Structure 1
């Protein structure tokens, strides 16, 4: 049937026809009963050899399976919308019963739904659709970087030149982030020149990794680097990086983990610096001290839980969604 959307979970099949999954016009998470719900066609819940939903044989187990299916297929739906859908199709329950069923299923919060979707995705049990990806990325910016999984320290370092306007002045932070263990390095400057980032790499980062028995393999140039200011010097920078036997990659990607780090760490740091009236000359020493404290919490040889999942995610145990960047 054209336009149908089908999602299968443990033998239960949910067929949604028409515009039942319409979201809020403003893109917000939630459902206002009278504001934007539109249903142009019939909606049906079907399953092979499954009794009608009004039958006494429609057990709590079947309800749990159906609820799990709905929550994973339409993660933006809130409890009011789910309850309305169920009641309209003969599965009557109160809001308290729905919340209790969600707790039993282990999906009583948006974070739980997000973590379950990531678990299924990384275990290659499902393919995410556009709405599911949007839902995960809204809660976990680092999920944008799911194709950039490093195997060891120094495997993939992201470089980004971040612009700030604080302390009534404009300046830049040349920032390097290790996608494996979360180690971060930065140099504050009044200039955007990529030569500053190159100097940081040569004088601090490469020796730092060499001392610990690792080699920097690749630098990923983030799409948000303000390239228009230094495109002319990029070729020489690339040449210098390649001369150190390090790959220089330009993936045309905006790294979510950098945005998350900026929100959770950098914005607070510069806000504190402004509140304390720290002079521009003192920002770098203060930043270095903060970074020492931050990096001390990152085991250098251990993969960090940057995507909100663990290496042993194939286990059925659900864990809290975590993105530890501060």
Structure 2
């Protein structure tokens, strides 16, 4: 795979025309196998679609997950100076320490799902700038964070799970979505880590101020101006996985919003991505509609950290186990195939 040698965000956007697609022959073979297994066609619903999706991206009729990578990116945000979060930014570093000690929800879910977890902290002592006063990141800073995400991807993985941690990043996600897909700032703002009605109103005002400054920019310019380092790193990881044809499971609202600038630049950037779950955070349903994606799960979760994506990995493994392990009608000597 090529090195991350982009010198501008325009170079990144231009990459869309050179992206490899899924193997349609393998996908068709997988669909034919599904229709020959000992069950009524379509009776396993989304599990069948997941198996065919994986076949296309792995390029084999019977895909497997032998190595699953989970990446959680962490960053801090200058917009927190506006009081948009009830917790101090020190919590970001404290939670990174908790991840590294194995004490967070994502650690448990990765262990159960069979994913190797890595946490990438991105200059936590140097928050981005307040996007209501200017761009959160300049182009070089955004590219640097995208590079960090790109280089963290294990190209030998069969699937990649993505998640995030960053105090204030639900406000950042709302700003990204409003700038990319329109609507009022209040349409995208939710409770985050526990904001009350007054706190949500403040977040909406802050998002509206950011939109007034930066909403005219192109999609990847919006990522730099309104996003954070963890959002840019997630976008970089999505790109690296797309080029290597590694399927991706995105987590909830903040993670999906981090990849949304790529979709706005060209929907082909996210064609290898599943969304692990529909977050209870207010804007996620609207965002999924804008992206045209159905989540694997809907468990009323809104923790972040990649937890919904890790949980969805178990469902994906179950889909592939049925696809690979079930007998065909011919194998089983069952009439009706």
Q: Name the TM-score class by shorter chain.
A: under 0.3
What TM-score, normalized by structure 1, do the two folds share?
Answer: 0.25
The structure in which a higher percent of residues are strand is: 1
What TM-score, normalized by structure 2, do the two folds share?
Answer: 0.24
The structure in which a higher percent of residues are helix is: 2
Larger RCO (CA within 8 A; separation ≥ 6):
2
